[in-house]
Amino acid sequence: MKRNLLPARLDLAQSVTGLVLAVFMAFHLVFDSSILLGANAFRFVSGALEGELIFGQKIPLITTLFAGVIFAIFIAHAGLAMRKFPQNAAQYRAFRSHMKEMRHGDTSLWWLQIWTGFAMFFLASVHLYIMMTQPDTIGPAGSSYRIVFEWKWPLYLLLTIAVVLHAAVGLYRLALKWGWFEGKDPNRRRKTLKKAVWIVSAVYLAMSLAALGAFVHIGLTGQDHFGNQVEVVPR
Ligand code: HEM
């Protein structure tokens, strides 16, 4: 009998796209948080990512193309994940009662991942579309203006929480699924892995929320928290 390899291939594709997005986010949130080192640090980092160090000037098209590639991977990952969503009310109810009965931590984590993933369908799409179409606005002044006066702070607040939780649970489950840290005592390994993932996520969450606060501060006061003036004006 011929084996059907499609489900295994789709699973692998989901793991690989998820891992690529998680690695991207690990760098993205650090670059974003350069605002904590002041407006000039963020200006330098965002300029460097737009080719300033190589071409002597910013090339916004680089951001448009790169954001397009990330968007495509994000859509592929979300599409593959839809296979795992409960498909009707009966499946939904069955899973909920199963979860309550079992009170199994990892099953509840899966539920958290489904909901944070669902929220990101909308939240991340808005963000990615803006990054693709308005790359020239990225910078301490433009980003702060967007966050405060174009009301992006509630979107970023929710997106930050959703993406960090989603990536944390995703990486933990990926490590278990592909047996990355297996050893003599799998139960102990699992607990250590869980702890490590939660600690790293808490650090990322604190850093990113502080960065969001720094953008809001610049938007409202016209200066960063070191007192450097930033001209936050409508574009
Ligand atoms: C190549 C694609 C991307 C680019 C160029 C980009 C760029 C940026 C920039 C410049 C900011 C600072 C605020 C602003 O200017 O609006 C930001 C913030 C943020 N981005 Fe992205 N982004 C990309 C993809 C993503 C993706 C895929 C996600 C999540 C699924 C994401 C999540 C966030 C979050 C949560 C914040 C706010 C962080 C905070 O709390 O300080 N970004 N992004």
Q: How far is the CA of 5 from the centre of ligand 1 (A)?
A: 36
φ, ψ (nearest 5 deg) of residue 2: -80, 130
3-state secondary structure 97-149: HHHHHHCCHHHHHHHHHHHHHHHHHHHHHHHHHHHHHCHHHCCHHHHHHHHHH
Q: In the predicted model, is pLDDT for residue 69 greater than 80?
A: yes
pLDDT of 123-165, one tens digit each? 999 999 999 999 999 999 999 999 999 999 999 999 999 999 9
Q: Is 70 in the pocket of ligand 1 (CB under 6 A)?
A: yes
Domain boundaries, the chain: 8-221
Name the pLDDT band for 96 (thresholds 50, 70, 90).
confident
Computed over every residue of the chain, the mean pLDDT equals 93
Q: Is 74 in the pocket of ligand 1 (CB under 6 A)?
A: yes
Name the pLDDT band for 86 (thresholds 50, 70, 90).
confident
Q: In the predicted model, is pLDDT for residue 209 greater than 90?
A: yes
Write the residue with the smallest CA distance to atom 24 of ligand 1: 128
The ligand 1 atom nearest the CA atom of 142: 15
Is 181 or 78 the better-scoring residue by pLDDT?
A: 78
Write the residue with the smallest CA distance to atom 16 of ligand 1: 143
- pTM for the full model? 0.93
CA distance 88 to 19: 29
Return the pLDDT at 1: 65
Architecture of domain 8-221: Up-down Bundle (1.20)
Contact 123, 162 (CB under 8 A): yes
Q: How far is the CA of 28 from the centre of ligand 1 (A)?
A: 7
Mean local confidence (pLDDT), 169-187? 85
